[in-house]
Amino acid sequence: MLLKGPWTVHSNFAPSFAKPPLQYWLTALTLPRCANPSIAVRIWPLLYTIFTAAAVGWLAFLVDPTRPWLILLAVAIFISCPLILMEGSRGLLDVGLTFFTTLAIALAQLARVRPVWWLGVAVACWLGSIQKIPLIFLIWLIIVLIRLRHPGDRVLLRSRWFKAGAILAIVMTAIWPSIQFVNCHMPLARAFVGDDFNELLLMARLTELPYIDIAWMIAGWLMLAGGVFVWRGRLHGPVMELSLVLLATAGFFLILNFRSVRYFLPILPVLSILLALLFHRALTQKGKGRTLALILLLFFVASGFVYGRMRINHRMQNEFDEQQLAQKLGSLQNEATTTLLIKSSNLLFDRFYLFYGRLRFPLQKLTLEQLRETPIPPPVIGICSLEDFFALQKIYPQARIELASDKSICWRAGTL
């Protein structure tokens, strides 16, 4: 956006409809003002994490104002989840969507008493749609279907504020796709589905799934299901509504495809609040059950922090060397040089090298087979794995190493 302007999201210097612009706008504000690009791109997910933790506490208060300890329990469970620790330290969009989703659910609770808060839900819905996807529309629909079952809530849904909020959300959400349609002639079928929609229909490979994160989520759902079974006759409206929102949304994600556990992040605050409610009930009971619940809670929180820290350290260690290669690649790049990324499972995504190398021209992704079939004339620079470099020298005998790490190489061929 700094090079091409703010009204289109670009990927590898080409217009992209995969992601909406909100976090990219925010990053464009911090990137020229921070000497460290990692800080510039990660500051917004970190702030979103802090705001989401505050929203979790607020939603816990709205669910049950008579239990102040529920707020601390919910926030502790939320921030100790390895998933939020990992995603809150990365430059992805999911934490922002999580914040707006939690905010929308909290405002929907306020709308139980004052329907004018449906306008706030509409604004949160719009912000969520320009952060990543219009997921809040789905959650809004689930909440409405739940409340239609109860006469008192059904009357409030007839309010003009509810109708105005729904119309406002639709109109505001349509603004960004309309701009893309006018500026870039985006096909209407691409609105809100992104460039990788077809991949959502493919089953993920089990070897790529983060099993400990999945185990954390499954443990939470099992505890939730057990608590609902034990206290099924005592659950009041907001708690039952959050339970149904959690299960319905999780089911929807599973139907689309379990590509990554981070797609469950927007409903993690709801899971944290429901788990906090179960722990709160157990900790207020007398007998050995209280001690067992306290031990389980401490293990739950401590293990989450420890594992999350291990994951963050491992990722940072792997990325440091690659950042040096990306910066070297950027220093070699000019208009007359072709820049290649030889596809390999050992390499990071192309956007990593584009960002940290501050590349000024497109990066081509090719396999060795494609390069053998259609060689690109020198001068050429690129990134490849150690194993691929020896095969690459058969295509470019003059290729030489500019910088190497444990797994990959920055190379060039021909006169720059």
Residue-wise pLDDT tens digits, 256-270 = 655 567 788 898 999
pLDDT for position 211: 47
270 in the same domain as 359: no
The DSSP bridge partners found for residue 410 are: 383, 403
H helix intervals, 260-332? 268-283, 288-332
175 in the same domain as 28: yes
Nearest CA-CA partner of 277 in 53, 61, 49, 54: 61
235 in the same domain as 179: yes
Give pLDDT tens digits for 35-94: 888 889 999 999 999 999 999 999 999 998 988 899 999 999 999 988 888 888 888 899
235 in the same domain as 134: yes
Residues 242 and 182: beta-carbon distance below 8 Å: no
Range of the domain at 236: 10-284
Give pLDDT tens digits for 121-135: 999 999 999 999 899
330 in the same domain as 214: no
334 in the same domain as 255: no
Cβ neighbors of 299 (< 8 A, separation 6 or more) are: none
pTM value is: 0.84
The DSSP bridge partners found for residue 95 are: none
Give pLDDT tens digits for 177-229: 888 888 877 776 555 555 444 444 444 444 344 445 555 555 555 555 555 54
Nearest CA-CA partner of 270 in 383, 109, 69, 47: 109
Q: Which amino acid is at 62?
A: L
Cβ atoms within 10 Å, residue 252: 14
From 254, 284, 314, give the residue that closes a domain: 284
Percent of the chain whose pLDDT exceeds 70: 84
Domain count, the chain: 2
Cβ atoms within 10 Å, residue 263: 19
326 in the same domain as 280: no
pLDDT for position 218: 58
329 in the same domain as 276: no
400 in the same domain as 269: no
Q: Mean pLDDT across the chain, nearest whole number?
A: 83
271 in the same domain as 363: no
From 284, 310, 333, give the residue that closes a domain: 284
From 255, 284, 313, give the residue that closes a domain: 284
Give pLDDT tens digits for 154-175: 888 888 999 999 999 999 999 9
Say if 308 falls within a structural domain: no
341 in the same domain as 397: yes
